[in-house]
Chains A and B, each alone.
Chain A
Amino acid sequence: MDRHTRREFLRRGAVAGVVVAGVPIVRTFDVAAFGQAGSTPVTPATTPTSTPTSPGPQVLAAEQSPAAKPAGGSGATVGGSSGTFDPGSLPFTGGNPVALGTVGAATAGAGAALLRSRRRARAAGVGHDAEHAKRTPLERLDDVLWAYETPVLGAFGYAFTVRTSDARLGRHVEQLLAAFRSASGAAPSTGAEPHVLSLRDRGAAIQPRFASYVDDRLVAADADASLVLAALLSAIDRGAVEAAASTHLLVHGAAAGTHAGCALLVGPSGAGKTTLVTALVRSGLGYVADEIVAFAPGSTAAACYQKPISLEGPARFLSGDLRDVAVLAPGRAAARWHVAPAMLRGDPLARSSPVRAVFSVRHRAGSATTIDPMSESDALTLLVANSFNGDRLDDVAFDTASTIVRDAPAFRLSFGDLDTACALVRHALGA
């Protein structure tokens, strides 16, 4: 920069009233490592530990054999629960046992032990696949009579099919994943074999009754089918993130809007993004994405990722009338409600559209609903810190994030009342 240019630049600072004195102010933030942004793992239902009443199929014996447990003994079974979850199989937070806070220290410890055992196995020359094959031999899954299998589906280049041992359950799952058959999730042309996701009802005599697998790997087993399905949906999220991380900016958020533009909702797990996007879609906005909001290089348009809406905890009861379409097995407890977008209202799916407003959302039950503007720098920090690949952004992705916040106003939205929050978001969009 020559002196003339520098002085012209400094004059703009003078016009803005900048005074160069005092203590320099630089705020520093850590960006979550890849795999740490995103939803918390599914939390198994708290049910008494049970013992199988029959020998059951061999696959169960393999899952429960001491050899299948990681060194250290605790395995991945959460204390006090009949559910078995493989932390390594769960996306995002599952990649780092330290981040398994919501499941509790016991599970985090189990996750760490499992990861340690895998590292030891690899160091000893035992391959990842061989280790899993030992736990849940492929031929045993192939021996199951599968009643239903979806066509090949795609999520950002992650190709998969889902098969179930129960036809009714299969039809339900296919309806949940219908959007992944559309242009937004067109089957990839990579030529790679699609992953096989399996959801198995092992019958009432076997506990835990339901189990899910990615290829030959057990990812969850629980008496609650909704949790087992949640693990499969998380596997799809993880596959989509891994498929697109090198090419897209991947924000952990949700988006809804019109053809003219969408609202990008960002926040940590449990902030209320899914709850709010559900309410926005039911209020008439188009559903663009939940969990993963992807941006192609140089584009401020949110790509469609129209996964099922999954509600858990108190969030279920903010949309309580969805229970009938969400619960897999009526009469059973369902810790998670999975709702097909089509069940929210008629024709709910939107096309990819540019971000018109960014919201840092936080649901606070019983509190007033407030909205405050955010600075561009805070908004950019929000996007990068809540990106699945924020720790490995290239110049283009970082420029994409900065363009989004330069083009769209950003707000902090703290909501206690869903209707008011919807009205505020719609007002910001002019919708």
Chain B
Amino acid sequence: MTFAAPAPGVRAARCADEVVLLDSTNARLHVLDATAALVWHCLDGETSIDELVHDITAVLGGDPAEVRVYVDALVALLASRELVVVDAAPVSAPLASA
């Protein structure tokens, strides 16, 4: 199983249905669109990606395989920008600002 949580030093602000992340470690801003923002808020380090995909499919519908591809791609993208930490075990998430 895979778990993901916001990385330390990353601050989040909700802006309507989007989210703006400020990474204070490298002074970069990241704007997540509504879909990415929805998933971001669920990355709490305690919910596995499998469980999250299951819940998204149950509530929003859609093809589970497509949802999985999206969530995996988003987590990989966020991890590549050091905005989330990913682990095989639950991750303690820092307190988010939003």
Contacts and interface: CB of A to CB of B under 8 A. Distances in A.
Please say whether chains A and B are actual partners in one complex: yes
Contacts, number: 148
A26 B77 contact: yes
A18 B28 contact: no
Interface in B45-98: 46-47, 51-52, 55-56, 58-63, 66-67, 69-71, 73-74, 77-78, 81, 97-98
Interface residues of B, number: 50
Interface stretch (A4-12, A204-212, A419-427): A4-12
A7 to B, nearest CB: 5
A65 interface: no
A376 B18 contact: yes
A101 interface: no
Given A33-B27, A380-B13, A24 B34 contact: no
Contacts of B28: 28-31
A402 B31 contact: no
Given A26-B30, A27-B31, A31-B27, A10 B77 contact: no
B84 to A, nearest CB: 11
Contacts of B60: 10, 13-14, 18-20
A1 interface: yes
Q: How large is the interface on A (under 10, 10 to 19, 20 to 34, 35 or more residues)?
A: 35 or more
Contacts of A9: 38, 41-42
Contacts of A385: 29
B96 to A, nearest CB: 10
B44 A392 contact: no
A11 B74 CA distance: 20
Given A19-B60, A381-B29, A398-B97, A25 B35 contact: yes
A7 B57 CA distance: 10
Interface string A302-324: 00000000000000000000000
Interface of B: 11, 13-20, 22, 24, 27-36, 38-39, 41-42, 44, 46-47, 51-52, 55-56, 58-63, 66-67, 69-71, 73-74, 77-78, 81, 97-98
